[in-house]
Structure 1
């Protein structure tokens, strides 16, 4: 593309092109990584592992709500488990949950958009839990309980992580095994 045509495009179009190029570069880099984990059954194991990690994180936030002093320390092992699982799922699912539209075909685009819609719905609904907890807790304690505020923040973080990971989890769970290569 010549520089005159490039300069006439708006910043959003240029950014979308940049995202597509960057995505394609990363896809080339990671496309052969973790070949044994690209099957549907293995991806489902990663999804279940993430779900269990989120349940553990939620349990940690509830322990914090009850004022258990050592409970925040449990967040560290949860994070140590979360990050590798999440990165692995992103790699083996080809990051289709957050891929730019320009690199997807029509079917993949429809799948991605459906998974994102589910993720948004999950996020909106789950966020009602920490919101209700914080509102009711603030009224009951007159806003003076630090454990409640910390626990509410952890709950909100868990719900945002769940919602943000949902598209990749849905696609990782539902997509068929990759076609065998020659």
Structure 2
């Protein structure tokens, strides 16, 4: 068994699983498939991410109870994320075999931007942790947790960016 065969089999399995899931959700949330509604989901996600990052920043100042606000932020994030994925047909993470050439190009472009966003935004918590540890001599007990919250928020932003870009830019579906 070669590595190529294993990868091919995995891609075939992933394509079948994706197609089956698509059949189940293809008719879900029909009112949310307009560009206006998708954009409202994208804006909602952006606000949620800003709130999550702010929770990390406030925690860095020693307000420990603010970490509890991460839970409602996750409770808001999850349904919006799932809804955006459903109305996009999960194009941002779809297997290549399920997309046409134009959709593959859109997806790959959005993924590239998502990676760039992740790399650039991750410099904020990294700089905070490195310089903060150097300044405090590593004695600030809130720093690691606050940096972790900031990093997690940035990773969620980066992972969501491709779907957010596609949700914002995709035109309304043609009426059938």
**TM-score normalised according to structure 2 size:** 0.97
- Match of 1:177, SS state, is coil
Q: Considering only aligned residues, what root-mean-square deviation do their CA atoms show, in Å?
A: 1.4
Corresponding position: 1:12 with 2:26: no
Corresponding position: 1:21 with 2:16: yes
1:41 maps to 36
1:89 maps to 84
2:114 maps to 119
1:8/1:53 CA distance change after superposition, 3 Å: closer
Corresponding position: 1:73 with 2:68: yes
User: Where in structure 2 are there 5+ consecutive unaligned residues?
Assistant: none
Deviation by residue 1:98-142 (Cα, 9 ceiling, x = unmatched): 111010000000000000000000000000000000000111111
The number of equivalent residue pairs is 176
Corresponding position: 1:61 with 2:56: yes
User: Where in structure 1 are there 5+ consecutive unaligned residues?
Assistant: 1-5
Q: CA deviation at 1:144?
A: 2.0
1:134 maps to 129
**How far apart are the structure 2 equivalents of 1:26 and 1:94?**
9
Q: CA deviation at 1:9?
A: 5.8
Q: CA deviation at 1:146?
A: 1.9
**How far apart are the structure 2 equivalents of 1:38 and 1:46?**
11
Deviates more, 1:65-74 or 1:41-50: 65-74
1:106/1:71 CA distance change after superposition, 3 Å: same
**How far apart are the structure 2 equivalents of 1:59 and 1:107?**
37
**How far apart are the structure 1 equivalents of 2:15 and 2:141?**
44
Q: CA deviation at 1:8?
A: 9.9
